[in-house]
Amino acid sequence: LNVKRKGCDVLLNDPNKSPFQTISDPRFIEILAFADGTSQMSEGKGFRSRNTFTLETNNALAYTLQGLVELIKKLLSEDHQYVLPGIFQTDRLEGEFGIYR
């Protein structure tokens, strides 16, 4: 999901770094399986809380991944040739929070 420019897949010889270009991209299945797996994890309470996410983090991760998949599919169905999901980030926002702290 951290694809920010076209051609990284060729440069790094990694097909997972290619932009999303079709609605039937097999990476969607992997992303949604990961989202489903995290949503079914037990929440982090008690002695084992160091090795698990909190319920809020589980839900946030699952909803974010599902939302990204839907957003990419919507953009591809609206006449976009490809989608670079790495541009959907909050780095600048996080930088501003660092300044404020």
38 band by pLDDT with thresholds 50, 70 and 90: confident
Q: Residue 1 has what pLDDT?
A: 82
pLDDT tens digits for range 25-35: 999 999 999 98
12 band by pLDDT with thresholds 50, 70 and 90: confident
More confident call, 58 vs 69: 69
Q: Identity (one letter) of the amino acid at 90?
A: T
∠ CA 69-73-76, nearest 5°, is 140
More confident call, 65 vs 42: 65
